[in-house]
Structure 1
Amino acid sequence: MPDKLERYRSKRDRTRTPEPIPAEAPPGGDGNAFVIQEHHARSLHWDLRLERDGVLVSWAVPKGLPADPKTNHLAVQTEDHPMEYLTFHGEIPKGEYGGGTMTVWDTGTYETEKWSDREVKVVLHGNRSSGRFVLFQTRGKNWMIHRMDGPARDPFPPLEPMLPTERAKPPKDSSAYAFEFAWGGRRLLVPIEGGRTDAAREHPWLRGLAESFGSRTAVLDGELATLGGAEILVFYDLLYDDGHSLVTEPYTARRSALESLGLSGGHWQTAPSWPGDAGPVRQAAREQGLPGVVAKRLDSPYEPGLSKAWLFIPA
């Protein structure tokens, strides 16, 4: 019987990598475990591994498992891996095959509905991933992965920003609002999926932000502002988070979810917000040369387009 791990061993040096490298051929087996590993290698991807005949049959999935049956994702079949890889995590040294950080993203069991050389149909039962999927070979060596059951998440919201209505004076019921700086910059909505964002086409430095989200999906609302001579993306709202739309949630819930992300980097930060009193915020905006403040109703949902729930008050 051919050694299914021969190709795996040929790509690795046991003196240079912490990965498990069994010395003997796998004994076979009929288990049904699976693992998905988040792999920050040369490019971020997820490795799906299904137990089959004593090894883990593996695919690298650059965008992770598809959440919607309308969208297929590329799946590149790689060499079979040893069973010990079910729990492997750690740092593969730079310069080695697959060099980078690997973490276990999900584990569980699966049911096989079909398994052939060109098509693998399974039902995953994991902590973070579940459902019916089919992996199928396309022309050449590439494979695709398709979700066969219903969407596992809410659809992305329309990418249209909520805009404030201008008003000369702050609202009288100030306790019903939070007050933020009006930055005077350019509005930017940032959708993130599979560790990537289309916004990076115009702003390549956003690739680092998107990759830090891993498999977490999000749509961030913010503004490109110039602070201290540097361009900073200031985020002040969260429309979508980890598969769930937040547009119908009140401002307070969206703001709490945004702050929990802890967004802080060399090119981006979370905007400050102060509930209850416009006076000090307006004065600070005036002193910093900002155009004014934005009053946001605490109970307001996210309404694309011009809204009276957000008020721009000049400094």
Structure 2
Amino acid sequence: MPDKLARYRSRRDAGRTPEPVPAAPPEPGHGDAFVIQEHHARSLHWDLRLERDGVLVSWAVPKGLPADPGTNHLAVHTEDHPMEYLTFHGEIPRGEYGGGTMTVWDTGTYETEKWSDREVKVVLHGQRASGRFVLFQTRGSNWMIHRMDAPVRDPFPPLDPMLPTERGQPPRDAAAYAFEFAWGGRRLLVPVEGGRTAAAREHPWLRPLAASLGSRSAVLDGEIVTLGGADVLVLYDLLYDDGRSLVALPYRERRAALESLGPAAPRWQVAPSWPGDPGPVRRAAREQGLPGVVAKRLDSPYEPGRGTSWLFIPS
């Protein structure tokens, strides 16, 4: 009987990688486990592995599992992996095959509806991945993955920013607002899906931001400002998070969701925000040479265009 792990073993040096490299051929098995690993290698992708006959049959999925039946994703059929890979996570050294950081994104069990050399139809039962999927071979060695059921997901919101209206003085009911610096930069909404963002076409330095969110879908609102001689994305709102539109929620809840998401790096950061008292914020804006402050009603939804829920107050 051929050794199903021969190809896997030939690509790895057990003395150089922390990956499991079993010396013996796999034992036959009849389990139904699966694992999805998030793999930050030369390019971000997700590895879907299904237990079958004592090994994990594997596909690399560059954009992750499709969220709805309307989009198929590429799935590259790779070599079978050992069962120990169900729990493997760690750093594969650079220069080694698959070098990069690997984490377990989800794990669980699955049901087989069909399994042939050209088509695999399964139902996944995981915490993050669940539903009916089919993997099918196309031309040559290419495979695709298609979602067969339709989870409840909100569509992406319109990518038009909410804009403030200028006022000479802060609002009298200051306790109903949060006050933030007006940065004087260029507004940018950043849609992220499958670890990628279209905003990186113009700003390539945003690719790591999208990759840092993994498979999480999001729409971030902020602006590009120059700090210390470099462009930095200052973030202050979250319009969409992992299949759920947040635009109808009050600003205080969207802001809390953004802070919980926690995007922070030298080239992007969450803007500071202070509820209730505009005085110190205006003084700090003047001292830093900023154009003013923006007052944002804590109970306001996100409404594209210029309205009265966000107010620009000059320094």
Q: Please give the TM-score of this superposition, normalised by the length of structure 1.
A: 0.97
Q: What is the alpha-carbon distance in structure 1 between the residues aligned to residue 137 and residue 54 of structure 2?
A: 22
AA aligned opposite 1:40:
H
Deviating more after overlay: 39-48 vs 145-154: 145-154
Tell me if the contact between 1:58 and 1:79 (Cα under 8 Å) persists in the aligned partners.
Answer: yes
Structure 1: segments with no counterpart, 5+ residues: none
- Alpha carbons of 1:39 and 1:222: their partners in 2 closer, same or farther (altered >3 Å)? same
Distance apart, 1:286 and its partner CA: 2.1
Q: SS in structure 2 opposite 1:85?
A: helix
Q: What is the alpha-carbon distance in structure 2 between the residues aligned to residue 152 and residue 216 of structure 1?
A: 15
Aligned to 1:94: 94
Q: Please give the TM-score of this superposition, normalised by the length of structure 2.
A: 0.97
Distance apart, 1:226 and its partner CA: 2.0
Distance apart, 1:262 and its partner CA: 2.6
1:291 aligns with 2:307: no
Tell me if the contact between 1:282 and 1:292 (Cα under 8 Å) persists in the aligned partners.
Answer: yes
Aligned to 1:162: 162
AA aligned opposite 1:153:
R
Q: What is the alpha-carbon distance in structure 1 between the residues aligned to residue 226 and residue 19 of structure 2?
A: 46
Tell me if the contact between 1:69 and 1:149 (Cα under 8 Å) persists in the aligned partners.
Answer: yes
Distance apart, 1:53 and its partner CA: 1.1
Q: What is the alpha-carbon distance in structure 2 between the residues aligned to residue 107 and residue 228 of structure 1?
A: 43
Aligned to 1:15: 15
- Alpha carbons of 1:2 and 1:152: their partners in 2 closer, same or farther (altered >3 Å)? farther
Aligned to 2:72: 72
Q: SS in structure 2 opposite 1:8?
A: helix
Aligned to 2:186: 186
Tell me if the contact between 1:67 and 1:152 (Cα under 8 Å) persists in the aligned partners.
Answer: no
1:81 aligns with 2:78: no
Aligned to 1:195: 195
Tell me if the contact between 1:69 and 1:151 (Cα under 8 Å) persists in the aligned partners.
Answer: no
User: What RMSD in Å do the two structures reach over aligned CA positions?
Assistant: 1.3
Q: What is the alpha-carbon distance in structure 2 between the residues aligned to residue 2 and residue 260 of structure 1?
A: 49
AA aligned opposite 2:21:
I
Aligned to 1:240: 240
Aligned to 1:216: 216
Distance apart, 1:152 and its partner CA: 4.7
Q: What is the alpha-carbon distance in structure 1 between the residues aligned to residue 136 and residue 258 of structure 2?
A: 38
Distance apart, 1:306 and its partner CA: 1.4
- Count residues in correspondence: 315
1:141 aligns with 2:155: no
Deviating more after overlay: 47-56 vs 163-172: 163-172
Distance apart, 1:294 and its partner CA: 0.9
Distance apart, 1:243 and its partner CA: 2.3
Q: SS in structure 2 opposite 1:205?
A: helix
Q: What is the alpha-carbon distance in structure 1 between the residues aligned to residue 21 and residue 285 of structure 2?
A: 60
Distance apart, 1:110 and its partner CA: 0.4
AA aligned opposite 2:37:
Q
Structure 2: segments with no counterpart, 5+ residues: none
Q: What is the alpha-carbon distance in structure 2 between the residues aligned to residue 211 and residue 42 of structure 1?
A: 12
Distance apart, 1:40 and its partner CA: 1.1
Q: What is the alpha-carbon distance in structure 1 between the residues aligned to residue 185 and residue 100 of structure 2?
A: 37
Q: What is the alpha-carbon distance in structure 2 between the residues aligned to residue 304 and residue 115 of structure 1?
A: 48
Q: What is the alpha-carbon distance in structure 2 between the residues aligned to residue 113 and residue 266 of structure 1?
A: 47
1:251 aligns with 2:251: yes
AA aligned opposite 1:239:
L
Where do 4+ consecutive residues of structure 1 move more than 3 Å? none
Distance apart, 1:94 and its partner CA: 1.2
Q: What is the alpha-carbon distance in structure 2 between the residues aligned to residue 182 and residue 23 of structure 1?
A: 62
1:92-120 deviation digits (Å, cap 9, x = unpaired): 11111111111111111001111111111
Aligned to 1:53: 53
Aligned to 2:310: 310
